[in-house]
Amino acid sequence: MDYNSNRKKLKLPEYGRNIHKMVDYVVSIEDREERNRAANQIIEIMGNMYPYLRDVSDFRHKLWDHIAIMSDFKLDIDYPYDPPRPETFLEKPKSVPYDHTPIKYRHYGKLVEKMIEQASQYEDGTPEKKQLIQMLANQMKKSFVVWNKETVNDDKILKDLEELSEGSLKIEEAPRLADARDILRTGGSSNKKKSKGANRKHK
């Protein structure tokens, strides 16, 4: 039996083995004009495989790049675009910068800390700042309850908000926060639905 595991590894598996064989054949054609014609025909076939991408910017450019890659950069034709360089694929990817700044309370997360920092810049007493404090306090309570799977007193949330804002988000009038039991109940019901759906699939 001729298994795929015993065959040549495909450069771009999404095009299939037949397209790779076509590209290999075009590389072996001696006449340059004939190679150009054959390469253009393969490009048309490749494009027909993904008709929904025809209107995507640089789609055909990518097809020509792909045919160069599939030929292991051995296809000598008149490319309509500058083909990619083999060295490009040997370069190590650039490291992704990660934010390693510590988070004071992990259950609130870094995003909440950034939101608090932005809210602190609003002028005191404005409706916008009061609304932001309400939204932040509710989000913090939800994050706390979901993380710890337990209820929490509103005073604790408001105290943490004031601490994280270094006193700039003081609560003059305690806002009404979401009920912790409702948060837990909502989370629990969604998990139950997921588990029921999973059970039905296994039946």
Same domain, 55 and 79: yes
pLDDT attached to residue 186: 67
- What's this model's pTM, rounded to 2 decimal places? 0.47
Same domain, 134 and 176: yes
Same domain, 54 and 74: yes
42 neighbors 19 (Cβ within 8 angstroms)? yes
- What is the spatial distance between Cα 164 and Cα 169, in angstroms, rounded to a whole number? 9
Sign of CA dihedral 51, 62, 30, 36: positive
**The total number of structural domains that make up the chain:** 2
Q: Which domain holds residue 47?
A: 8-90
- Average per-residue pLDDT for the chain: 82
Res. 4 pLDDT band, cuts 50 70 90: low
Same domain, 100 and 172: yes
Residue 145 parent element (H or E):
helix 127-148
Asked if residue 156 is part of any domain, the answer here is yes
Same domain, 62 and 132: no
Asked if residue 32 is part of any domain, the answer here is yes
Closest to 22 measured CA to CA, from 2, 40, 3, 1: 40
The model's pLDDT over 78-105, given as tens digits with 9 standing for 90+, comes to: 999 998 888 887 777 778 777 677 778 8
Same domain, 85 and 115: no
DSSP string, 113-142: HHHHHHHTTSPTT-HHHHHHHHHHHHHHHH
